[in-house]
């Protein structure tokens, strides 16, 4: 990596079945955000579970971006009750991302976790999840039930509700305020945060929507979708810029270690 300035960002994929065939896939918004808002090169990580050597993989990367997905983290990973019949899961992704997160955290590697990613980050570090927020009477419809998939993306990923940012927290510093509107869209969410995670953002109904890892250079999770048109949203742009700076610091640190060796 010595002399290189382009951050290499690993993006774990989902394993999805289409026309009776399995595909390792990721929505194009995520690699595009890495290219446009981070100034990095996205490298897709197939959902191959224990076949992936996390240590060898992370040796070649400068950061990890965890994406959203329609699937839920399987509840046995956090001691939750069995999912309701018909719930979409992706065990191959779980088997890939959870150990990858733990190893990235151990190395103090930058991690930006979005939507399903924030849930994976919380579970990987010892937290728990609500499986069906839209069935909880004290929560509002974060999933926006009843909206067909055919509606335009500008409506689906438009501002959904406000979040209160923790004063003095990382996200509040990036936003320059303690309240912002976000395009949150999810059915699963954080229940009990992992012990070392700090709460960075909370929805009006009390649902946790932003977290960071205590003492880390940059390990951040958001429940909303900053990857949607990130250059048009100042807060999203600031979030990706902070991630980019942390990834560049990884490059510099790796180069310094090699010079010292």
Query: Which entry of 142, 186, 225, 248 is annotated as an active-site residue?
Result: 225
Question: Whole-angstrom Cα distance, residue 66 to residue 128?
Answer: 18
Dihedrals phi, psi of 135, to nearest 5 degrees: -95, 0
| Two tokens, residue 110 | 């930058």
**Is 156:97 a contact under the CB 8 Å cutoff?**
no
Phi-psi label, residue 229: left if phi above 0, alpha if psi -120 to 50, beta otherwise = left
Known active-site residue 186: no
Query: Which entry of 115, 120, 209, 247 is annotated as an active-site residue?
Result: 115
Cα dihedral: 3, 64, 233, 205 (round 10)? -160
**Is 97:104 a contact under the CB 8 Å cutoff?**
no
Known active-site residue 24: no
Question: Whole-angstrom Cα distance, residue 232 to residue 255?
Answer: 33
| Two tokens, residue 250 | 């990884």
Query: Which entry of 74, 120, 200, 227 is annotated as an active-site residue?
Result: 227
Known active-site residue 14: no
Please identify every residue annotated as catalytic. 115, 225, 227
């Amino acid at each position: 990596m010595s002399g290189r300035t382009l951050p290499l960002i690993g993006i774990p994929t989902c394993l999805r079945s289409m026309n009776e065939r399995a595909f390792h896939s990721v929505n194009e918004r995520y690699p595009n955000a890495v290219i446009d808002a981070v100034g990095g090169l996205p490298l897709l990580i197939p959902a191959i579970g224990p076949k992936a050597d996390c240590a060898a993989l992370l040796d070649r990367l400068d950061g990890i971006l965890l994406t959203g997905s329609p699937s839920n983290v399987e509840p046995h990973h956090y001691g939750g009750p069995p999912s309701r019949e018909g719930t979409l899961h992706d065990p191959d992704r779980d088997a890939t991302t959870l150990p990858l997160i733990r190893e990235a955290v151990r190395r103090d590697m930058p991690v930006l976790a979005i939507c399903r990613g924030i849930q994976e980050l919380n579970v990987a570090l010892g937290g728990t999840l609500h499986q069906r927020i839209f069935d909880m009477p004290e929560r509002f419809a974060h999933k926006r039930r009843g909206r067909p998939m055919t509606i335009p993306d500008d409506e689906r990923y438009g501002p959904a509700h406000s979040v209160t940012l923790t004063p003095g927290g990382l996200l509040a510093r990036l936003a320059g305020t303690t309240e912002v509107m976000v395009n949150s869209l999810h059915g699963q969410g954080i229940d009990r945060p992992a012990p070392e995670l700090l709460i960075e953002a909370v929805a009006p109904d009390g649902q946790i929507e932003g977290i960071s890892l205590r003492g880390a250079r940059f390990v951040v999770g958001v429940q909303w979708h900053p990857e949607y048109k990130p250059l048009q949203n100042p807060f999203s742009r600031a979030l990706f810029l902070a991630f980019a700076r942390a990834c560049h610091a990884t490059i510099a640190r790796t180069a310094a270690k090699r010079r010292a060796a």
